[in-house]
Amino acid sequence: MGSITKCLFPAAGLGTRFLPATKEIPKEMLPLIDRPIIHYGVEEAVNSGCSDVVFVTGRGKRAIEDYFDRSIELENILLERGQKELYDMVVAVSEMARFAYVRQSEPLGLGHAVLCGEQFCESGFFGVILPDDVMIADTPVLRQLVELHERLGGSVVALEEVSPGEVSRYGIARVEPQEDGVYRILDLIEKPSLNEAPSRLAVVGRYLLSPRIFHHLHNLRPGSGGELQLTDAIKSLLGEEVVWGLRYNGLRLDCGTKEGWFKATVTMALENGTLREALFSLLRQRGLMDV
């Protein structure tokens, strides 16, 4: 299925917004209900046709490697106890895809993290998933990008309309409409003020990139925040190749902040019969819900 087989997961950031929890635990391993945040992104990549998953990790991120590896001791205990369902669940995690790891020795920015994956991804178009953004969608969001690429060629970024107060947190696109929900990207500005922002269309955590991006990342100077910004490299790529923006269908749960992670947890809980009832019963007990 599909023409894109590799997906890169930048996961080497410091996760400072979750300190002290992220002093020892990678932000990507914080649980969303019963799975680490990053599990959802990997599932999306696999359901979009990717068989190879490359994690860009750094210091203190070993839990990610251990999570996606076999866990022989645990597997044996579950088998001995006759807990076959749990055994199958644990083994399935390590068999979701072929996993590779590359180290970003200093968190020099998202662009630098992607550049670290060059050796694995330079042979063709590849996906990039920012694990903080968990996407709930009927058709996996990366798959939606892949389908557009298969139809029109070129790189594709996921776009979402954000509120005026949010534009300064994102890379914002200047666009030309192409067809329903599809735009040709003409320019990108990382974290603009509201006055500078050419639209309210923000690039969010899903990309399908041409391997030419590496050439542009190599030539990049530090941008906003002194980091190597992926947005700046894509902007430079625009000079030689087409980049599409797709307003994807789905719901983004931004798990990169405490508030976002909490809302994501509640959103997922509302989809689960038992947890939904537990939440409602708590609200009733506290007098916050009547029925």
Instruction: Decide whether 78 or 188 has the Cβ nearer to ligand UTP.
Output: 188
Q: What is the identity of the amino acid at 68?
A: F
**How many Å apart are CA 255 and CA 247, to the nearest integer?**
20
Instruction: Decide whether 64 or 78 has the Cβ nearer to ligand UTP.
Output: 64
What CA dihedral angle connects 46, 260, 57 and 31, to 10 degrees?
Answer: -70
| Contact in structure between 78 and 90 (CB atoms under 8 Å) | yes
Residue 227: CB minimum distance to ligand UTP, A? 6
Question: Which listed residue (41, 109, 117, 245) binds ligand UTP by CB under 6 A?
Answer: 109
Segment contacting ligand UTP by CB under 6 A, of 105-113, 117-125, 167-175, 236-244: 105-113
* 132 lies in the binding site for ligand UTP (CB under 6 A): yes
Segment contacting ligand UTP by CB under 6 A, of 67-75, 87-95, 109-117, 231-239: 109-117
Q: What is the identity of the amino acid at 281?
A: S
Rg (the chain; Cα; Å) = 20
| Contact in structure between 154 and 256 (CB atoms under 8 Å) | no
Instruction: Decide whether 17 or 215 has the Cβ nearer to ligand UTP.
Output: 17
Question: Which listed residue (4, 7, 8, 11) binds ligand UTP by CB under 6 A?
Answer: 11
* 56 lies in the binding site for ligand UTP (CB under 6 A): yes
Instruction: Decide whether 48 or 229 has the Cβ nearer to ligand UTP.
Output: 229
**How many Å apart are CA 76 and CA 60, to the nearest integer?**
27
- Torsion sign (Cα): 204, 210, 211, 213: negative
* 17 lies in the binding site for ligand UTP (CB under 6 A): yes
Helix (H) or strand (E) holding 213: helix 213-218
Interface residues toward ligand UTP, by CB under 6 A: 10-17, 27, 56, 104, 107-110, 112-113, 130-132, 256
